[in-house]
């Protein structure tokens, strides 16, 4: 059996007086590709913040790589690409190489020079996302989809075992969404990186994920993509609130904001 690398047991969390997570249990086995879905405000980002130690649950326990989160120190094992890692504009004065190198600064320190080993790591991470030809390009000259790859490279530069991505396809056009999933598929299958993907895209995601988790304050579903597909037309409106069309793959204007 695969090792469990993240274990969340009975997690509850309240912002001021609003309970947003109620006794949530989630285990992430090594090698999984988990698609985490649910309505806006369902608590997905909050759950990830608890997993990253940024918020402390009211109740429950988090174990990372078999250690209680309070004792866990190997944070480089976990890469995170935030929803907020959005676009650089045209004038932003940094190359792809420089942006990816900032992923290493936590280890190296701001004022120390990168040695050959670090330089190779940076170039390897850029290569992993298929952007080596653009290493010296100004980041602001790249498309949204290409910039998204660079943010992933920045998270990959420390060789994480688990990569968490929060809504990475919002605002990315359909062709690039497809390429993006190919990249995730390769990272998961060939590079053996465990993935946790928060997404609205319940269409394309189920073609690649090994497990789907649906969260709306409590865990409403945790199973295989095929089971999720079977369930989603029947029961999902109950979870999401009202008539939702989850079959289409395009993004609504609301999501693209
Ligand atoms: P999701 O990622 O599924 O959209 P979130 O975890 O971002 O959900 O939010 C869950 C609920 O918690 C929402 O109702 C949101 O408005 C609320 N919330 C999120 N962050 C804060 C905060 N810092 N203070 C108060 N309420 C918050």
Q: Give the ligand 1 atom nearest the CA of 48.
A: 6
How would residue 185 be classed by pLDDT, with cut points 50, 70 and 90? Answer: very high
197-226 average pLDDT score: 90
The percent of residues above 70 in pLDDT, for the chain, comes to 82
Mutate to test the pocket of ligand 1, among 14, 43, 47, 217 (most ligand atoms within 8 A of CB): 43
Residue 105's Cα: distance from chain center in Å? 21
Instruction: Quote the longest CA-to-CA distance of the chain.
Output: 57
In this predicted structure, what is the pLDDT of residue 116? 82
pTM attached to this predicted model: 0.87
Please tell me the number of Cα atoms within 13 Å of 74 on its side-chain side.
Answer: 13
Q: How far is the CA of 41 from the centre of ligand 1 (A)?
A: 5
Q: Is the CB of 128 under 6 A from ligand 1?
A: no
Q: Is 153 in the pocket of ligand 1 (CB under 6 A)?
A: no
Nearest to 225 by CA among 244, 206, 240, 242: 206
Give the confidence band of 112 by pLDDT, cuts at 50, 70, 90.
low
- Continuous H helices in 105-217: 105-108, 116-128, 144-156, 174-189, 205-208
SS3 58: coil
């Amino acid at each position: 059996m695969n090792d469990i690398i993240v274990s969340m047991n009975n997690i509850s969390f309240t912002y001021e007086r609003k309970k947003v997570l109620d006794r949530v249990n989630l285990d992430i086995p090594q090698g999984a590709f988990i698609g985490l879905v649910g309505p806006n405000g369902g608590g997905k980002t909050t759950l990830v913040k608890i997993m990253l130690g940024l918020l402390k649950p009211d109740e429950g326990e988090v174990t990372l790589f078999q250690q209680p989160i309070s004792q866990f120190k190997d944070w480089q094992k976990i890469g995170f690409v935030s929803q907020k890692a959005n676009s650089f504009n045209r004038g932003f004065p940094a190359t792809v190489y420089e942006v990816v190198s900032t992923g290493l600064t936590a280890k190296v320190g701001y004022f120390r020079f990168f040695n050959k080993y670090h330089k190779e790591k940076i170039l390897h991470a850029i290569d992993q996302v298929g952007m080596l030809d653009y290493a010296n390009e100004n980041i602001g000259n790249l498309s949204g989809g290409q910039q998204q790859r660079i943010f992933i490279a920045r998270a990959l530069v420390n060789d994480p075992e688990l990569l968490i991505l929060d809504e990475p396809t919002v605002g990315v056009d359909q062709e690039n969404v497809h390429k993006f999933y190919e990249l995730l598929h390769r990272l998961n299958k060939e590079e053996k990186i465990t993935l946790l993907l928060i997404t609205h895209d319940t269409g394309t995601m189920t073609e690649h994920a090994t497990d789907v988790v649906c969260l709306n304050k409590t865990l409403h579903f945790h199973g295989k993509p095929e089971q999720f597909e079977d369930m989603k037309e029947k029961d999902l409106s109950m979870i999401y609130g009202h008539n939702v069309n989850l079959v289409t793959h395009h993004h609504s204007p609301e999501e693209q904001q």
